[in-house]
Every structure is written in structure tokens, then in C-alpha cells.
């Protein structure tokens, strides 16, 4: 898969509030699909599974089966890659502009 389509999958996955909420739940520790369903009682199991599928396609979630349980693990590496590729470059540019503005105002 090209890095462009990988980035597209990550942006698509992060674009939906519920998927971001699922990732927030997985931040501290892996959870089973059942635990995630309990955390979101307003969503049925099929909807949770559909969101998890999108997150897996973006490689943001890695699912591992243990017996009858499916454990969902956060993989933050794609988010870091998005940060390194997109956010850090623009943040650096913005900081340089602020630095120049500060310097201009002081003189």
C-alpha cells in the first residue's frame, strides 16, 4: 500500500468522532470488543465492529484473538507518521512566523 493511500485511510478513520472515542478508550490498555460495546451503550455491536474495521484498515487498531475474545490494541504509529509528515512541518512554520513577529514587535 502506498503511503498516500495509508495516510488517506488514517485521515478517514480519524474523521469520525466515534472512532476517535474508540481510540481514546484504547489509549491506556487493550480492550475486548465486548468491553468497547459496553462503553458505548448507544451503539449496537455491529456498529462498533464496523468502526473497528475502519480503524484496523488504517492500522490504528490491531485485533488479536484469545479464545472467544477479540482484544483490540491501539497502534499509535500511524498517528505519529501523520504528525511527522503533516503537523510538525506546519507547526514549525507557524512558530517561525510567531518568532519573527515577536522580534519585529520588540524592535
Summarised one tens digit per residue, pLDDT across range 62-73 is 999 999 999 999
pLDDT tens for residues 78-99?
999 988 887 777 777 776 777 7
The most distant pair of C-alpha atoms in the chain lies apart, rounded to whole Å, by 68
Q: Are 44 and 11 in contact (CB under 8 A)?
A: no
Domains and CATH numbers, the chain: 3-75 (1.10.10.10)
12-51 burial, b at 16+ Cβ within 10 Å, e below that, comes to: ebbeeeebeebbeebeeeebebeebbeebeebeeeebeeb
Q: Who's near 83: CB < 8 A, 6+ residues apart?
A: none
pTM comes to: 0.79
Q: Who's near 87: CB < 8 A, 6+ residues apart?
A: none
Amino acid at each position: 500500500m502506498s503511503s498516500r493511500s495509508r495516510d488517506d485511510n488514517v485521515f478517514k478513520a480519524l474523521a469520525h468522532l466515534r472512532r476517535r472515542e474508540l481510540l481514546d478508550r484504547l489509549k491506556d490498555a487493550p480492550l475486548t470488543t465486548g468491553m468497547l460495546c459496553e462503553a458505548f451503550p448507544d451503539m449496537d455491536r455491529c456498529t462498533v465492529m464496523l468502526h473497528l474495521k475502519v480503524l484496523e484498515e488504517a492500522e490504528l487498531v490491531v485485533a488479536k484473538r484469545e479464545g472467544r475474545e477479540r482484544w483490540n490494541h491501539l497502534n499509535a504509529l500511524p498517528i505519529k507518521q501523520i504528525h511527522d509528515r503533516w503537523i510538525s512541518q506546519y507547526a514549525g512554520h507557524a512558530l517561525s512566523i510567531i518568532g519573527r513577529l515577536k522580534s519585529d514587535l520588540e524592535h
